[in-house]
Amino acid sequence: NAGVTQTPKFRVLKTGQSMTLLCAQDMNHEYMYWYRQDPGMGLRLIHYSVGEGTTAKGEVPDGYNVSRLKKQNFLLGLESAAPSQTSVYFCASSHGQGWGTDTQYFGPGTRLTVL
């Protein structure tokens, strides 16, 4: 039981390049989330999904897109990376008993640098 996994662990991009971050969970969780973590800012929600085929915007969605084609996977895309998107990205999942009341299980994170 791997829990929540993220690939890649590290990535360096040039401004304007695109990439996709993959999150996978094997706990059969309904809800999945993408956060970014910046010094002094805590974790900020980018997008989330309450089930396969559904996505919704979080606090800081601009510049990102997501897809949840399979229940166990949640993809985060950057179409044209900017230096302001340099951050550590965390994926999380939860059972789906209640938005905002579930325990969230986090992946190990992806450290992204945009030059």
Does the protein bind another protein through residue 103 (CB under 8 A)? Answer: yes
# chain residues binding another protein, by CB under 8 A: 21
Does the protein bind another protein through residue 107 (CB under 8 A)? Answer: yes
**Residue pointed to by tokens 């791997």:** 2
- Give least dist CB 80 to another protein, A: 27
Taking CB under 8 A as the criterion, the residue among 25, 87, 90, 93 binding another protein is 90
CA angle 113, 20, 7 (to 5 degrees): 75
Site track for another protein across 15-44, x = CB under 8 A: --------------------x----xxxxx
- Cα-flanking dihedrals φ and ψ of residue 58, to 5°? -100, -145
b/e sequence 43-74, b meaning 16+ C-beta within 10 Å: bebbbbbeeeeebeebebbeebebebeebeeb
Name the site residues for another protein (rule: CB under 8 A).
35, 40-45, 58-59, 90, 92, 99-101, 103-109
